[in-house]
Amino acid sequence: MNALGRRWVRGALIAAVIAVALGLPIAGTPYLIDVGTLVLVYVMLGLGLNVVVGYAGLLDLGYAAFFAIGAYTTAILMDDAHLAFWWTLPAAACFTALSGVVIGTPTLRLRSDYLAIVTLGFGEIVRIAATNLTFTGGPEGLYGIPHPTIGGLVLRSPQALYFLGLAFALVVLAGSYNLARSRLGRAWLAIREDEAAAQAVGIYPVHSKLMAYVLGAVFAGAAGSFFAVKLTAINPSSFTFIQSVTILMVIILGGMGSLPGVVLAAAVIVVLPEVLRAFDQVRMFAFGIGLIILMLMRPQGLWPSRIGQIERRAVAVSEASAAAVVAADAAATTE
Amino acid sequence: MTVALQQLVNGLTVGAFYALIALGYTMVYGIIRLINFAHGDIYAVGAFLGLSTYGLLRLLHVDNPILTTLLGLVVSMGCTGLLGMLVYRVAYRPLLHARLSILISAIGASLTLEYGLFLIYSPSFLVYPHLFDSPGMALGDISVSGLQIIIFVSGLVLMTALYVVVHRTKIGMAMRALAINQDAARLMGIDVNRVIAVTFFLGSTLAAFAGVLTGLYYSQISFLMGFLIGLKAFTAAVLGGIGNIPGAVVGGFLLGVLEGLAAGYFSSRWKDVVAFGILIVILVVRPRGLLGERVVERM
């Protein structure tokens, strides 16, 4: 397929996504709209984790912790303090950012796979704490979370919640699009590729990594706030290690650092299990095998980011030219 | 004081499990720098294979408890060891130079093993045969069951055996060489893939051993039993200094005892938080662990 053809396919796919996103609440049944809203939640989570893993290259295996902190903050503030939904958003952002700083500051200097394990431990601590503390409602969680309102309008119907989710997802999408092209985004790219070289040109890695961590946490917090008012009830079983892995799956399936990839993969991750409901027994088993096969066959994901492709091509070219030089040297010595 | 001593005994028993599993993590990490996420599930597979062997032996009317346990251990350790090698061959070997991909592949392998057990055996808890009914000893107010002594002693024997293998045999020397420099080891004529496969085999047999004994100790097993204990065993390996074999043993026992004390004096619901809290603190304060050497980031 040539470049022009590829652009056409991309354009057509994006148009199809927009058509589905807007047509769904008008034509869909409540069940379909509900599935669509869940897709939007995963789009937000995927985009947030993409900042951490895709842009900055930090493996986070406890991302659901930030999702949980956002959801619980909104739920507690709306249930107990009777705050409006919109006022809980900044609070959720503050709490998630704060927890991002608390867990990130000491650990971001660590070896990258140690970071993965620390985040995993953090995720488990948050989940166990939510299960055992009283103000989080214990294992039953919190329920009766009020619906959000705009002016006097109560967003109760599936359509209204869907559009609220769409608005959230678009803000997060625009935010991460701009982040990738900002000074900070380029710093992340540089650190991901070669931390020592990035440091040599004046990037302070720990600071940039912490920013990625905190921004990713805030995105997850926003997704959590929306999740709480969408379901009106939350409990710790939504924030397990499997949840963190599922979010990670979204960005790996989509292609690290690729925004359309995240959207596409979020849809696949939510819709595929719904379609496979009949095969519920083998679902997770197939998921595990699929993960291995995907890594073996197509590690760059379904819709790899363009920057990533350019990088890979450049590496391939430089490796080929290096090989050519070696071959030429070898030829020269044999002569 | 009684509580402390009793929890010390319980902690040393659980610590033996942690130490046996942590050895698998630490050997694999030392050689190929991979956090083998599937290792906890390898331990679960070991427990299930042990249960199958017990079932088979009962069909054959072999009911000497010592004989069945020994056979169960041997069959389970052998099969699980081969499974560990298979997982390495299929899911890890092609990805040895892709740091992130291999980790994801490991998570995939973990899910595959967990839900493979779910499909083959049962989604609920399975009951292990109750073979060792010995009341054990009572030292004052502290009770030590016969099984606890067996677990502790046999665990120590296996750990020593592993230490001897790694430090006194040719294959062990090859493992240590790989851990230091893979390319140089290859140039010295070491078959790198074979040595890594043997490492996976040894680690998996130790995990299977722990799995069968866990079944006997707690008398029930489930397909998800490997997840949490795998995380904690990794914590133990990090605590002792990852890549360091005596470190994994020390870390395992230490974690078991600390957790036991936390459960005894605080609340058993928070003992996991204590374990992960220790992990985070250790990684921040002393990333190389108690006995580990300084490790340089290698991409």
ipTM of the complex model: 0.86
- Secondary structure in 3-state letters for chain A: CCHHHHHHHHHHHHHHHHHHHHHHHHHCCHHHHHHHHHHHHHHHHHHHHHHHHHHCCCCCCCCHHHHHHHHHHHHHHHHCCCCCHHHHHHHHHHHHHHHHHHHHHHHCCCCHHHHHHHHHHHHHHHHHHHHHCCCCCHHHCEECCCCCEECCEECCCHHHHHHHHHHHHHHHHHHHHHHHCCHHHHHHHHHHHCHHHHHHCCCCHHHHHHHHHHHHHHHHHHHHHHHHHHHCEECHHHHCHHHHHHHHHHHHHHCCCCHHHHHHHHHHHHHHHHHHHHHHHHHHHHHHHHHHHHHHHCCCCCCCCHHHHHHHHHHHHHHHHHHHHHHHHHHHHHC
Q: Residue A280: pLDDT above 70?
A: no
Q: What's the pLDDT score for residue A313? A: 66
With 0-12 / 13-18 / 19 or more C-beta atoms within 10 angstroms meaning exposed / middle / buried, residue B140 is: exposed
With 0-12 / 13-18 / 19 or more C-beta atoms within 10 angstroms meaning exposed / middle / buried, residue A4 is: exposed
A32-36, A108-112, B73-77, B235-239: lowest mean pLDDT where? A108-112
B3 CB contacts (<8 Å, ≥6 apart)? B264, B265
A310 close to B (CB below 8 A): no
Of the candidates A279, A174, A272, A178, the one whose C-alpha atom is nearest the C-alpha of residue A222 is A174
Q: What's the pLDDT score for residue B229? A: 92
Helix (H) or strand (E) segment spanning residue B137: strand B137-139
Residue B170 CB neighbour total at 10 angstroms: 8
Mean pLDDT of B264-285: 82
Query: What is residue B127's DSSP assignment?
Result: E
CATH number of the CATH domain containing A189: 1.10.3470
Distance of alpha carbon A142 from alpha carbon A255, whole angstroms: 35
Over residues A207-235, the pLDDT tens digits come to 999 999 999 999 999 999 999 999 999 99
Q: What's the pLDDT score for residue A121? A: 87
Same domain membership, residue A310 and residue A293? no
Mutation site, B114, B227, B238, B279, interface A, largest A CB count within 10 A: B279
Contact B7, B146 (CB under 8 A): no
Q: What's the pLDDT score for residue A286? A: 84
Q: Residue B132: pLDDT above 80?
A: no
Same domain membership, residue A109 and residue A39? yes
A60-69, A155-164, B150-159: lowest mean pLDDT where? A155-164
Same domain membership, residue A321 and residue A285? no
A290 close to B (CB below 8 A): yes
Nearest to A292 among B105, B276, B279 (CB): B105
Q: Residue B297: pLDDT above 60?
A: no
Mean pLDDT of A145-155: 85
Nearest to B287 among A57, A110, A248 (CB): A110
Confidence band, pLDDT 50/70/90 cuts, at residue B274: confident
Q: What's the pLDDT score for residue B268? A: 77
Q: What's the pLDDT score for residue B207? A: 97
Q: How many domains does chain A have?
A: 2
Residue B182 CB neighbour total at 10 angstroms: 18
pLDDT, greater one: B84 or A1? B84
**Rounded percentage of chain B residues whose pLDDT exceeds 90:** 55
Please give the structure tokens belonging to residue B128. Answer: 């292990």
Mutation site, A115, A285, A312, A319, interface B, largest B CB count within 10 A: A285
Q: What's the pLDDT score for residue A94? A: 95
Decide if A38 is inside a domain: yes
pLDDT, greater one: A60 or B98? A60
Segment of A139-148, B78-87, B269-278 carrying the highest mean pLDDT = B78-87
Decide if A140 is inside a domain: yes
Query: What is residue B220's DSSP assignment?
Result: E
Confidence band, pLDDT 50/70/90 cuts, at residue A270: confident
Looking at beta carbons, which residues of chain B come within 8 Å of A110? 283-284, 287
Q: Residue B298: pLDDT above 50?
A: no
Residue type, B141: D
Over residues A69-123, the pLDDT tens digits come to 999 999 999 988 888 899 999 999 999 999 999 888 888 877 776 788 788 889 9
Same domain membership, residue A324 and residue A190? no
> Do B119 and A281 lie within an 8 Å CB cutoff?
yes
Q: What's the pLDDT score for residue A2? A: 63
Same domain membership, residue A136 and residue A225? yes
> Do B112 and A128 lie within an 8 Å CB cutoff?
no
Looking at beta carbons, which residues of chain A come within 8 Å of B272? 124-125, 128
Looking at beta carbons, which residues of chain B come within 8 Å of A241? 227
Confidence band, pLDDT 50/70/90 cuts, at residue A322: low
Please give the structure tokens belonging to residue A108. Answer: 């971001």
Residue type, A12: A
Same domain membership, residue A248 and residue A146? yes
Same domain membership, residue A86 and residue A71? yes
Q: What's the pLDDT score for residue B296? A: 46
With 0-12 / 13-18 / 19 or more C-beta atoms within 10 angstroms meaning exposed / middle / buried, residue B142 is: middle
Whole-number average pLDDT of chain A: 85
What dotted CATH number matches B2-285? 1.10.3470
Q: How far is B136 from chain A (nearest CA, A)?
A: 35
Q: Tell me which residues of chain B have a C-beta less than 8 Å from any C-beta of chain A.
A: 33, 35, 90-91, 94-95, 98-105, 107-116, 118-119, 227, 231, 234-235, 238, 269-270, 272-273, 276-277, 279-280, 283-284, 287, 295, 297
Contact A259, A307 (CB under 8 A): no
Confidence band, pLDDT 50/70/90 cuts, at residue B1: confident
For chain B, the domains span 2-285
Confidence band, pLDDT 50/70/90 cuts, at residue B2: confident
Looking at beta carbons, which residues of chain B come within 8 Å of A57? 100
Mean pLDDT of A307-325: 65
A17 close to B (CB below 8 A): no
Q: What's the pLDDT score for residue B299? A: 34
Q: How far is A140 from chain B (nearest CA, A)?
A: 16
Decide if A319 is inside a domain: yes
Q: How far is B252 from chain A (nearest CA, A)?
A: 17
Contact B275, B196 (CB under 8 A): no
Mean pLDDT of B276-284: 82
A315 close to B (CB below 8 A): no
**A/B interface, count of CB pairs below 8 Å:** 122
Residue A271: give the domain boundaries.
29-304
- Residue A36 vs residues A159, A248, A267, A276: alpha-carbon distances, Å: 10, 19, 8, 16
> Do A114 and B238 lie within an 8 Å CB cutoff?
yes
Same domain membership, residue A227 and residue A332? no
Mean pLDDT of A291-318: 73
Nearest to A125 among B35, B273, B297 (CB): B273
Same domain membership, residue A331 and residue A251? no
Decide if A7 is inside a domain: no
Same domain membership, residue A152 and residue A289? yes
Of the candidates A171, A168, A149, the one whose C-alpha atom is nearest the C-alpha of residue A38 is A168
Same domain membership, residue A313 and residue A277? no
Confidence band, pLDDT 50/70/90 cuts, at residue B294: low
Looking at beta carbons, which residues of chain A come within 8 Å of B102? 295
Q: What's the pLDDT score for residue A11? A: 84
> Do A248 and B295 lie within an 8 Å CB cutoff?
no
Same domain membership, residue A202 and residue A272? yes
A142-151, B19-28, B164-173, B208-217: lowest mean pLDDT where? A142-151
Whole-number average pLDDT of chain B: 88
Q: How far is A236 from chain B (nearest CA, A)?
A: 15
Please give the structure tokens belonging to residue A66. Answer: 């930030």
